[in-house]
Amino acid sequence: MQYTSTRNNIVKITAAQAILRGLAPDGGLYVPEKIKSPDISEQQLLRLSQTELTARVLHALIDDLDLETLERAVKDGYRGKFENDDNLTPLVKCGKDYVLELYRGPTSAFKDMALCLLPRLIAASAEKCGAERDTMILTATSGDTGKAALAGFAGAPKTKVIVFYPDGGVSDIQRLQMVTQQGDNVCVCAVRGNFDDAQTGVKRAFGELKCDGFSLSSANSINIGRLAPQVAYYFKAYADLVKAGEIKYGDLINFVVPTGNFGNILAGYIAKKMGLPIGKFVCASNRNDVLTQFLSTGVYDKRRPFYLTASPSMDILVSSNLERLIYFASGGDTHLVASLMADLNEKGFYKVPGAVLSEIKNDFLCGSADDEECFKTIKKTFDENHYLIDPHTSVAFAVLTKVRGNLTGKTVILSTASAYKFAPAMLKAFGIDSVSDGFAAMEKLNELTGVPIPKNLALLREMEILHKDIINPDEITEYVERKAKSWEK
Ligand SMILES: *Cc1c(COP(=O)(O)O)cnc(C)c1O
């Protein structure tokens, strides 16, 4: 099985090489030329543990790592970090729909599903490819990715991670989540400036760095090793519905996904291409509705205002993984993808051919919801079903009500974060406006709803602050070199 670049089909590499490289040299993303079905029979789908199921789905996408290696990676990556080792991603009924809870991991965000596994996949790929150096991950974060990367990489063999965050630019809770992170192979540093300053500094460091002891990579990059673990939970959700007697094996189901960078929903599309019986995907956006516009008109136009919303992880103008969808929907037309991406870069927009748009519309519905709709939906869902959803998940719920008439079969909503990660915004939904401190907001929300605060967030208050460094953006390269030297010893 070979991977190629979305922008150049001359490129042919293995999955393990794609994981190590992250991004193709031409700026494209790595994609499998052909998507294979996983080796899972109907009986196995219903009987296998989540670990075994995940390993088999991974093996269909990363076929040059053997099944035993992948199973060990999955076991070691997730074990002891989730609320329930045997059921990492519970499926719960809410009204007439189902919610797939992807946030029961170490940082209470769905990014844990990918970032707990990525370091193990990198280490296994490095061994497979005979890479001798350890991998050092450098990441700038505006909040959620940084902590999920730290928790995922802490203690992982042959990998180090350094996370840079903007000083004063993340929430109280997000900062505490990062600076209390334990582990000999992790490092966190504040940067004076905003997220762009930190990100630019990290990108510059990639160019300037001379550290021979490590090969450099990023947890931000659109690595196939970040996508593959997300494909697996679509299979798990399907199996749970069959086991619960809610559907028969073979029935089509729909998924509603709160979308930002288009990674989560694309993983579902890959699951469908692998043969999982899926009807439609609903792509839900907040007020930054560039994807809704694209999926309705075929025009992707990033020349538009950027809004800060109550669902910050979906505040985005360029959804990188859409490039992979266009590759698949155009039948692997890398010339087309390359020219569209050049248009985006040079003119700020592109338009896909009509045939590609109708291909996409076979699989995708879309819609958007603003903050007011989001808050109303949080309150309504709690009042009617006594079920608490975070602002990102609420956008998905709100969009579902708008498109429901176009769906047949059962529908699963992907829930991407614990409500407690966004406690001040949640309180607004319940009509309370004036809680300043993150912990006070969590306690108030707990009082109002009775829903338990996730342990990892409640414990933050007592954790020791381990990372106190703060530097200027132009000191990032030197900082990394110093850190690399201390790790080499
Ligand atoms: C990252 C994130 C999303 C968006 O997921 P994509 O894969 O980028 O589309 C949605 N919700 C939350 C809570 C997130 O952290």
Q: What is the pLDDT along the chain (489 residues), one digit of tens a residue?
A: 999 999 999 999 999 999 988 888 888 999 999 999 999 999 999 999 999 999 999 999 999 999 999 999 999 999 999 999 999 999 999 999 999 999 999 999 999 999 999 999 999 999 999 988 888 999 888 778 899 999 999 988 889 999 999 998 888 888 999 999 999 999 999 999 888 788 888 888 888 887 778 888 878 768 899 999 999 999 999 999 999 999 999 999 999 999 998 999 999 999 999 999 999 999 999 999 999 999 999 999 999 998 889 998 888 888 889 999 999 999 999 999 999 999 999 999 999 999 999 999 999 999 999 999 999 999 999 999 999 999 999 999 999 999 999 999 999 999 999 999 999 999 999 999 877 788 999 999 999 999 999 999 999 999 999 999 999 999 999 999 999 999 987
- Over residues 273-310, the pLDDT tens digits come to 999 999 999 999 999 999 999 999 999 999 999 888 99
Ligand 1 centroid – CA 168 distance (Å): 22
Torsions phi, psi for 390 (to 5 deg): -80, 170
Nearest-angstrom CA–CA distance, 191 and 205? 14
Ligand 1: nearest atom to the Cα of 260 = 9
Ligand 1: nearest atom to the Cα of 103 = 13
Ligand 1 pocket: which of 270, 325, 416 to mutate (most atoms <8 Å of CB)? 416
End-to-end CA distance of the chain: 39
Contact 296, 368 (CB under 8 A): no
Ligand 1 centroid – CA 385 distance (Å): 24
Rounded (5°) CA angle 83-89-90: 90
Instruction: Report the catalytic residues.
Output: 111
Ligand 1 centroid – CA 210 distance (Å): 33
DSSP state of 29: B
Ligand 1 centroid – CA 113 distance (Å): 12
* pLDDT on residue 177: 94
How far from 395 is each of 99, 259, 311, 331, 378, CA to CA, in Å?
13, 9, 8, 31, 9
* CB 128 near ligand 1, within 6 Å: no
Ligand 1 pocket: which of 255, 282, 294, 314 to mutate (most atoms <8 Å of CB)? 314
Ligand 1 centroid – CA 201 distance (Å): 24
* pLDDT on residue 221: 64
pTM above 0.75, yes or no: yes
Ligand 1: nearest atom to the Cα of 230 = 7
Nearest-angstrom CA–CA distance, 487 and 161? 11
How far from 417 is each of 68, 109, 422, CA to CA, in Å?
31, 4, 9
* CB 111 near ligand 1, within 6 Å: yes
Ligand 1 centroid – CA 417 distance (Å): 9
E strand segments, 307-408: 349-351, 364-368
Say which residues have a Cβ less than 8 Å from residue 295's Cβ, sequence separation at least 6: 283, 360, 361, 364, 365, 366
* CB 109 near ligand 1, within 6 Å: yes
Ligand 1: nearest atom to the Cα of 392 = 11
Ligand 1 pocket: which of 110, 111, 112, 266 to mutate (most atoms <8 Å of CB)? 110
Ligand 1 pocket: which of 29, 226, 261 to mutate (most atoms <8 Å of CB)? 261
Ligand 1 centroid – CA 263 distance (Å): 8
- Residue spans of alpha helices (H) in 156-282: 172-179, 195-208, 224-243, 263-273
* pLDDT on residue 210: 76
* CB 220 near ligand 1, within 6 Å: no
Ligand 1: nearest atom to the Cα of 144 = 15
Q: Give the three-class secondary structure for 470.
A: strand
E strand segments, 45-107: 91-94, 97-101
Which protein residue's CA is at the shortest distance from atom 15 of ligand 1?
313
